Amino acid sequence: MRKGAWVVFLLLVVTLYFLSSIPGLRVLPVLSAVHRAMSRVDLGVAQFSQWFASRLPIDTHELRHIDTVTADFLAYARDNPIIIEFLLRKLAHIFVFFIITIALFFLLHQYLKSSALAVGLAFVGATILAALDEYRQSMVAGRVGSLLDVGIDMIGITIATLLIIFALFLTRSGRHHAVSRSGQQGEKEESASDESTVICQEGDPGARATTGPERDTAQSPEYKSERHPPQ
């Protein structure tokens, strides 16, 4: 588990370092290259989608408004590539550091018994990594280090931290509920045992509850013959 956590975290850090080292990196050209590569691969997805849509129990013409919104957005993206580039870059910042924070938490949790300490250190460590990443970009041609980008990175870090805290709360609540249920079951069994003992004592005032070796001795034939000799 520790090796796997190290591999995932280091892979993410190396990927971040590689992307930060590319001069003048832009998101839209990368997406365009991915789109061209995917368009060369004919997996019959379009044909399957049309076949599946034709068999849906709804009128697909009712979804034409979605097509209109999509067409308007694409037209806006073509006319304003700088704005779309800005939004995609900031979303990429949030997503990357969201994943890095979770990976760092799992790595620290392999060595720390306190989950709260692991969460805190993951938050601090991811923030330091975001600051170092921006400092690294300031030394790359065509790239600029910005405190604003550090703040945007911290949005992803904060979301990941809150998600981890919420998950820990749910798991601990579940364990507490299970433990309380098992404790209540044990109390019920103990109460039933006490009631049976009281009933036995009421049936035989001279009797007392016996357990373990005493019960075995009381049930032996020798003990019964000594206590009740034949007449």
| Tens-digit pLDDT profile for residues 98-120 | 999 999 999 999 999 899 999 99
Least confident segment among 36-45, 120-129, 168-177, 207-216: 207-216
Confidence (pLDDT) at 126: 96
Are 196 and 137 in contact, with CB atoms under 8 Å apart?
Answer: no
Are 130 and 13 in contact, with CB atoms under 8 Å apart?
Answer: no
Give residue 153's pLDDT band: very low, low, confident or very high (50, 70, 90): very high
- Tokens (6 digits) for 207: 């009797």
Taking 70 as the threshold, does the pLDDT of residue 47 lie above it? yes
Distance CA 139, CA 144 (A): 8
Average pLDDT of span 171-178: 68
Give residue 202's pLDDT band: very low, low, confident or very high (50, 70, 90): low
Torsion, Cα of 109, 114, 116, 117 (10° steps): -80
Give residue 204's pLDDT band: very low, low, confident or very high (50, 70, 90): low
Confidence (pLDDT) at 181: 65
Average pLDDT of span 42-63: 70
Distance CA 135, CA 20 (A): 10
The domains of the chain are located at 1-21+66-193
Higher pLDDT, 139 or 80: 139
Taking 60 as the threshold, does the pLDDT of residue 206 lie above it? no
pTM: 0.64
Taking 60 as the threshold, does the pLDDT of residue 147 lie above it? yes
Confidence (pLDDT) at 132: 94
